[in-house]
Structure 1
Amino acid sequence: MSRPDPLQLWDDVAQDTLAVVRELDGEEWQLPTALPGWDVRDVVAHLAHLESEAAGMPQPDGGGADQVEATGAMPTSLTQAGVDARRDASGEELRAELEQACSTRREVLADLDTSDLSAPAPGLVGGLGWDLRTWLRNRPVDLWVHATDLRRATGRTVRTDETGATHVARMLTGAFPFALRRLPPGTSVVAEITGPQGRTLAAQVGDDGRAAPVDPPTEPTVHLAMDDVTWLVLGSGREDPAGAAVTITGDAALAQQVLGQLNVMP
């Protein structure tokens, strides 16, 4: 399957996220999310912050980043500053800002040269040391994961048939062997995922301590079975592995270690 155009992917996921934000009403804005200390309103403020940064729009007082270090990671202090700077904005104002930011970002980046994805990304994330590949990969992930935060917080159905879910699932598939880090050599794990993003994942730890994809063994050390919603929220750090709806066969202690290491989100 060919990969979608990265800018089109970003916009498709943004539109799916906006569809959720447009439905928010009344007391839903104050509902808590899976992110400690953030309610629904804070999540939308965060999305408005990063989408408006990508669009090159002016930031409210205290919400910009005059100086960032090329650490490779998005500092928590920076994302929190973007939320805090919007404390006085109503839900309607945040929704309008996000709508405008997505529209402006699409126009501003329409002619972005993506022929060399190792080139530095523009603006804020370029200052963090991100290249275009990292930026264009991470923004759709952030949007879909936070749209899922909103859906779960407000009792809406999590959509795993969307473009964003496919993008996140592709990333988690590639990262699956890392969930076996620090496990004994010879350990094999198979994860059977059901649903629109269903697939079979299998990896084994080699003699050098590194895990790599393998054909699913008949009798793995650990066998995990779960639906794609569970897999995606575990992979995005939004679920306590101890309470996740996963059927475990084999070494239970190793299984819990693997489930706890599925999270690839910073």
Structure 2
Amino acid sequence: MSLHPTLQSYADAWTHSIEAITELVQPLVEGEWNRRTPLPGWSVRDIVSHVIGMDCEMLGDPRPIHTLPRDLYHVTNDAQRYTEMQVDVRRHHTSPEMTSELEYTVIRRNRQLRNESREPGTKVRGPLGTELTLEESMRSHAFNVWVHEQDLRAALGRPGNLDSPGAHIARDVLLAELPGVVAQGAGAPRSSAIVFDVHGPVEFLRTVRVDIQGRGTLETAPALGPAAMLTLDWETYVRLACGRVTREAAADRVKAEGDPDLAEAILRNFTVTQ
């Protein structure tokens, strides 16, 4: 048996991103592993450690037994503590140790995907003891690895792959969160419409309509006379949605029309990742 067709796009996206990450870090000298990234408290080494750790968990490996230091200012909740464990345990690994473990983990994951015969709805282990379907797990993983590829590119000054298979998975994941951002997060008025016009390597025009009950839905049809309209490039959209840049820092790359208070509220609640 082979991978279910529903899961193939997620496997392809992961493969593309993990190969790009491997290519990015392979030539790094020791000092470059300590470069800052857009994630507070995390270096290039830390992001690669996180990617390795995520794939080890996809493989079903036991989590490391490790005590976190008390002075990690960027770790403030249980979800962050859970994530940090795989990072901190590798914090003093050398460049050869990092690249060797990454390569070995990729080999194991490729073997796992070649032999994967489970149905998309199969329940699997998720973070913090949660349970989710295999499809949800693989989609989330493909999204996360692509986002971290972009983090590494930003840290190393190597932009690229903004239109890769992982970018299209990211578009769908982030768009699924948009109705909640507008309706619940920003509290957009009932019976209103907000338009998002995104240009660049990945382009889309979407409308979030808020019904009389205050629920938001995503539509591809443009709205006439929307309450607000936000126009921005794809990279800025991703960086805002993933909390890599503040709305103030990205102000010159976002054009807002219509109700300025509503537009500000949307941007204030735009981050949907932890």
Is residue 2:200 matched to residue 1:195?
A: yes
- Structure-2 separation of matches of 1:10 and 1:239: 24
Q: With the length of structure 1 as denominator, give the TM-score of the two structures.
A: 0.86
Is residue 2:82 matched to residue 1:84?
A: no
Q: With the length of structure 2 as denominator, give the TM-score of the two structures.
A: 0.83
What is the match of residue 133 of structure 1? 135
What is the match of residue 146 of structure 1? 148
- Structure-1 separation of matches of 2:13 and 2:6: 9
Aligned partners of 2:11 and 2:142 also within 8 Å: no
- Structure-2 separation of matches of 1:205 and 1:231: 21
Is residue 2:25 matched to residue 1:21?
A: yes
Query: Which blocks of at least 5 consecutive residues in structure 2 are unaligned?
Result: 68-77
Identity of aligned residues (%): 28
Segment of structure 1 superposing worse, 83-92 or 225-234: 83-92
What is the match of residue 179 of structure 2? 177
CA drift of 1:143 comes to 0.6
Does the C-alpha gap of structure 1 residues 45 and 134 become closer, same or farther in structure 2, counting only changes over 3 Å? same
CA drift of 1:173 comes to 2.3
Aligned partners of 1:51 and 1:98 also within 8 Å: no
Counterparts of residues 7-86 of structure 1 (less than 5 Å): 7-57=11-61, 61-62=65-66, 75-86=79-90
Letter in 2 for 1:17: I
- Structure-1 separation of matches of 2:157 and 2:254: 21
Letter in 1 for 2:148: H
Provide, for residues 119-168 of structure 1, a one-character-per-residue CA deviation record: whole Å limited to 9, x for no partner. 1125x659421221221111111111111111112222143121111110
State the number of aligned residues. 254
What is the match of residue 121 of structure 2? 118
Is residue 2:269 matched to residue 1:261?
A: yes
- Structure-2 separation of matches of 1:95 and 1:3: 31
- Structure-2 separation of matches of 1:52 and 1:241: 34
What is the match of residue 68 of structure 1? none
Aligned partners of 1:176 and 1:201 also within 8 Å: no
Q: Secondary structure of the equivalent of 1:185?
A: coil
Aligned partners of 1:175 and 1:264 also within 8 Å: yes
What is the match of residue 70 of structure 2? none
Aligned partners of 2:7 and 2:135 also within 8 Å: no
Query: Which blocks of at least 5 consecutive residues in structure 1 are unaligned?
Result: 64-73
